Structures are given as structure tokens and as C-alpha cells.
Amino acid sequence: MSGSPKFSEAEIAEWKQKILAAQRQRQAAIETQRRKEAEEQERQRQLEESRNQIQIRIQRLLSDINWQWTNFYIQDAVVLQNHCQNQQQAIVQADSEIQLLEISEKIINIEQTMQGLLQRKRRKEAEKKRKLDIERQQFELEELERRIAAIPDTESLKFDAAGRQQLQQVLHNVRQTIAAGDPVAVRRPLTEATALVQKHQRQIVQGQTNLRHAQAQTKHQLTELKISLTGLKADPVIMQWQGAVVAELEAEVNAVQQAIFAGQNSQVVDKIRELRERCQTILATANTAQLQADKRDYIADSIAETLQEMGFSITFHQPEHPEHPATSVIVGATNNIGKGISVSVPMVGKVFYDVDGYAKHSMTTVDGNSTTVCDEAEQMLNGMHNVLEDKFGVKMGEVWWTEKDPKRTLRQAENLPHERQSRSRSK
């Protein structure tokens, strides 16, 4: 091979770029459909998983109602049972996460209603047994304490710590007043304690509702993110160009999911938004890379076909490093008079040539420097460039090599001395 590398730049004609872009757009549409199918399958899987979880909850609620049947008034138990059965039918018919979320809220309402009905019967039954005001007041105090005790300390401290502390003092005062045995003196502090308990419960319920909604929203966003991730993994173009990035994204999605399981919903909201934006970046990057690869392949294919038209036989046409999608494509060819050429077409940058069997000699320029002349090889490459532009729309730049004199006019190859090897590049 010759000792001087030669190069030229490759530029695809605007009309051909439009054709390539249109081909990429059509292929991207097919890839988009494939992603959508994968996303829909994942969405249905998530829907069935949520449906099964809610069905378990309603079955557990029905079991609780049956277990505590004697603690209800019959009509209340029947109504609760009917509500649960209605929700069972709604669960079967639900076809979206939103509908299942609405059913989940209704189940929570049924649970709260059940607790209220249990409390109502306990109160009424107790009132039958308590004939004296002091006995009734004692029950009211105990009921308030039960209602407070039913609220986990963690929930109270999370949503109404000040209210919980105030309630402890007020209930202590009511207890002391009841112990004094004066029902009239008990009425006002007991009423105030009842109002404070109701306010505290409202604070807890509101906080829990807000937290559930935030958790549901976060879970929905995570579900959509996982669906998008499934679509990316199902796209072979994306996995070819961005496989490592997708793997990193999947690891971060798993970390977010673990954080949500640990109750860190507020900390992951911005992270989920960032990861969804990265999904779009991955898609755009992969499409851009694939378009560059399509252009590289088109130039390499065009060069191979042109060389065949010029009387060469293709000896190899393959990726230089098959394990790397962004590798250069190399094309080798020889003719029947012992001359050969190999071409390296990169994703981006200069196209390099190695030529063999072409005449090369040295000469002195007008300024006294020595330069290498490769007229025969340059003529062949220029002829190939003309065909590439005329037939394929590939515009190749001037052929250059390291020792080429930029001021010299090309002479006819047959007037030059012969040398075995030369190396050129096109910029």
C-alpha cells in the first residue's frame, strides 16, 4: 500500500437526503407501532395486577363484614354487603387504572362507613345500658378515646401533631370531671373534646386522602414510565444505539420504584419527570444515529456499485468492527490488471482510500519543496467521484494526501513514472 493517506469529504445530495429521511420516517413509524404494542401489553398487565389487588381488598372487606355480622344492625350489614357486591361487579367491568382508582376510593368509603356503623351500634347499645347521664358521659369519653386510639400514632404525628397533643390534655380534663360525679359540669368539656376529636379525625382523613392521591399520581407516573421503558426495550434500533443508556435508565426506574415502596413519594416526583424526558432524548438520539448509519451505508453501497461499473471486483464489503454499530464500513476491490483499492466510510468524517498498483513519483515544487505525485490514482478516484455524484447524488470532495502539492495541476497518468503503491483520502 502507498505511504501517503488520501481523503475526501462525502456529502449526500439534498434530494437523496430527503429520500433517506423519508425512509427513516417510514421505518420510525413501524418502530413506533411496535413500541405502542409493547406499551399496550404492559398497560394491560398493570391493569390486571391492579384489578387483582383490589379484588383481594374487597374479598377481605366482605370477610370482615361477615365476621362482625352480629356487631351491625341487620339492615346496615346487608347494605354494606350489597355495596361490596356492587364494587365486585365494577372491578370486573373496569377497563382503566382511573376506574380502578375510583373503585379503590369507594372501597375506602365502605370501610369508613363500616367503622361508622360499628361505632353507631356500639353507642346505641351502650346508651340502652346507661341510664344515668354520668354513665352516658363516661361512654362518650371512652368512645372518643377509642376513636383516637384507632388512629396510629404515626398518622397523628404526620398529619396533626399539635391537635393530638391538645386532645390528650382535653381528654384528661374530661376524665377528671367525670370522676367528680357532676354530669352538668361534664357537658361542656365533653362537647369541646368531641369537637376536637372530630377536627383531629378530619385532619387525619384529609391528610391520608391527599397522601393517597399523591401516591396514586406518583404510581401512575411510574407506571407510564415503565410502559415507556418497555417500549424502548422492544425497539431494536434504540437498543442497538442506546442499549447501555436504556439499561442505566431501567436501573434508575427500579431505584425510583424502591423509593416509592419506602414511602418516599415526594422525593421522586422530579426524578420521574427527569426520567420521562430522558426517554424522549434516548429516542431522538437513536433515530439520529440510525439516520447517520443509513447515510454511511448508502455511501458505501454507492462506492461498491461504482467500482463494479469501473471494472473492479468487490473482494470485501463489511463493517470494520462488527461489534460496534457506529463502526466504519470498509469496501475492497481489485481489477484484472492487478490494481486494487480499499475504502473506509465512517459514520461522520472523511472517507479514506488505500490504492495499490498505481504509479507514484516525487517532484520538486516551485518553492523548492519535495512533493508526492499520484496522478494515476487521483484520476481513477476523480472518475469514481463523478459517477457517485451523477448517479447516486453523493458529492465527494477533492482527493488529498499528506504530501500533495495544492498548487499543482493534474497531469495525465500515462506521462508519469510508475510506482507500485499510493494512499489517498477524500475530504
Q: Domains in the chain and their CATH numbers? A: 6-14+294-426 (3.30.160.110), 44-217 (no CATH)
Return per-residue pLDDT of the chain as tens, 427 residues.
456 777 778 788 888 888 888 888 988 888 888 888 888 888 888 878 888 988 998 899 999 999 999 999 999 999 999 999 998 898 888 888 888 888 889 988 999 999 999 999 888 886 676 567 788 888 888 888 888 888 888 888 888 888 888 888 888 888 888 888 788 788 888 888 889 888 888 888 888 888 788 778 888 888 888 999 999 999 999 999 999 999 998 999 999 888 888 777 777 888 888 999 999 999 999 999 999 999 999 999 999 999 999 999 999 999 999 999 999 999 999 999 989 999 999 998 899 999 998 876 555 454 545 556 677 888 889 999 999 999 999 999 888 776 565 555 443 333 223 333 333 444 4
Residue 334 cell numbers, joined: 481489485
Q: What is the pLDDT of residues 184-202, one digit of tens each?
A: 788 888 888 889 888 888 8
Closest to 427 in 3D by CA, of 397, 383, 382: 397
Q: Tell me which residue has cell 346505641.
A: 124
Q: Tell me which residue has cell 422525593.
A: 267
What pLDDT was estimated at residue 413?
31
What pLDDT was estimated at residue 370?
53
Closest to 299 in 3D by CA, of 416, 186, 426: 426
Work out the number of other CB atoms within 10 angstroms of the CB of residue 93.
9
Give CB contacts under 8 A, 24+ apart, made by 135-143. 137/178, 137/183, 137/186, 137/187, 137/190, 138/178, 140/190, 140/194, 141/171, 141/174, 141/175, 141/178, 141/190, 141/193, 143/119
What pLDDT was estimated at residue 2?
55
Secondary structure (3-state) at 370:
strand
The Cα 427–Cα 8 span in angstroms is 2
Per DSSP bridges, beta strands 6-12 and 313-319 are: unpaired
Closest to 260 in 3D by CA, of 226, 293, 222: 222
Write the DSSP symbol of residue 412: P
What pLDDT was estimated at residue 218?
83
What pLDDT was estimated at residue 403?
59
Q: What is the pLDDT of residues 262-288, one digit of tens each?
A: 777 777 888 888 999 999 999 999 999
Residue 80 cell numbers, joined: 354494606
What pLDDT was estimated at residue 59?
92
